[in-house]
Amino acid sequence: MTGPTKTGEVVPSKDGTALRGGSRATSRLGLRHSTPLIVTGALLVVLFIAALLRSGSMGITGQALLTGIISGGVYSLLAMGLTLVFGVLDIVNFAHGAFLAVGLYITYEVAHQAGLNPYIALPVAILGLFVLGVLIQLLLLNRTMGGTLERQLLITLGLSLLISNVLLLVFGGDPLSANLKSDPGVHVFGAVANLSRVIALGGALVLAVLVFLLLERTSFGRAIRAVAASRQGAGLVGIDVRLVYAVTFGLGTACAGAAGMLIAPFTTITPTAGDQFNILAFVVVVMGGLGNVMGAVISGLIVGLVEQLGGVAIAGQSPLLGVFILFLLILLIRPQGIFGAASS
């Protein structure tokens, strides 16, 4: 039986993955992580050089780097919620992108209907999505715990379709926006980014750190990691497993809601806006290692950089081409992800 561990230690999960907060998970990589990291680094260098040669301008390439870091920060926050849910509940949540869309519409309502600054919607989105996630887990997903993977996948997929269609029914299909009244450019090392994008990066990193501290520095975080390791063992030492499941799913949906709010000022808002982010979140989670929180953060930044540099280096193609090439290479080299634990 595996119980709570000391702060910073890796807690192996039921299927050989780990819910890791990460000081030791990332500082002691070892040989088994070296190859995928070398491949990732090599691809980034190749894309950087190709982007520089194709654009003929360090300014354009620097702009791609800055945009990639900003996008990667948002991907990291979104993927943290997804990997947290998988690491603890062992559920692949296909409704994660739909929760992001709910965060987008909450921001729209605050900005346009209430006439307030969009960023006031951040605590509203976090709290609202947390409560929604807790209720969904208790009333719906809790009935599937211990069931087949197919059943859980179908339920979360159906939930995604339900949320998207409810948003369509309430708000219609016309694209909406929650733009800031003033969104000046911010100069960063010769590149320029809108203030809203810089705030999105800063907000995503701050929230990621808070989630990390919750997992690593609090008693409830240790309870979450204990449940991820062994549901039966955690129950035997007095941990309320049902409560941990509900709160963890709520935290996951809150991350999605926060990500939706942070990108709302520069994103077109539609009922299906979360679909593309959902795909990218799954790519980030699998690349980083299923159930590995710090792996999701690092992988999110990598995906953001590859996406933007690839968009410049491979003009005329989807900017996601480089992302999926890297994704396939990582799966071939290390199927459990860069920071994933080997199956026992």
Delimit the domains of the chain by residue range.
11-25+32-333
* pLDDT value at residue 32: 58
Find, among 181, 200, 182, the residue nearest to 262 by Cα: 200
* pLDDT value at residue 29: 46
For the cut 80, the answer to whether the pLDDT of residue 28 exceeds it is: no
* pLDDT value at residue 20: 54
Question: Which residue in this structure is represented by tokens 């992580």?
Answer: 33
| Residue 195: φ, ψ to 5° | -55, -40
Model confidence band, residue 12 (pLDDT cutoffs 50, 70, 90): very low
pTM of the model: 0.85
- Cβ neighbours for 52, distance < 8 A, ≥ 6 positions apart: 58, 61
Under CATH, to which class is 11-25+32-333 assigned?
mainly alpha
CA distance 56 to 51: 8
What is the three-state SS of 233-283? Answer: HHHHCCCCHHHHHHHHHHHHHHHHHHHHHHHHHHCCECCCCHHHHHHHHHH
pLDDT tens-digit profile of 260-305?
999 999 999 999 999 989 989 999 999 998 888 888 999 999 999 9
* Residues 320-323: contacts with CB under 8 Å, at least 24 apart: 320/280, 322/43, 322/47, 323/280, 323/283
For the cut 90, the answer to whether the pLDDT of residue 125 exceeds it is: yes
CA distance 195 to 3: 44
Task: Identify whether the C-beta of residue 306 lies closer than 8 Å to the C-beta of residue 323.
Answer: yes
Model confidence band, residue 257 (pLDDT cutoffs 50, 70, 90): very high
| Residue 185: φ, ψ to 5° | -80, 145
| Residue 272: φ, ψ to 5° | -105, 20
- Cβ neighbours for 64, distance < 8 A, ≥ 6 positions apart: 51, 308, 309, 311, 312
pLDDT tens-digit profile of 58-70?
888 899 999 999 9
Q: Read off the pLDDT of each residue in 68-77 and give the average, rounded to a whole number.
A: 93
What's 119's DSSP letter?
Answer: G
CB neighbourhood size of 251 (10 A): 23
Model confidence band, residue 192 (pLDDT cutoffs 50, 70, 90): confident
Q: Read off the pLDDT of each residue in 202-214 and give the average, rounded to a whole number.
A: 92
CA distance 171 to 85: 29
**78: Cα separation from own chain's centroid:** 2
Q: Residue 99, class by beta-carbon neighbours within 10 Å (0-12 exposed, 13-18 middle, 19+ buried)?
A: buried
What is the three-state SS of 74-111? Answer: HHHHHHHHHHHHHHHHCCCCCCHHHHHHHHHHHHHHHH
Region of 214 (left: φ > 0; alpha: ψ -120 to 50; beta: rest) is alpha
CA distance 85 to 172: 30
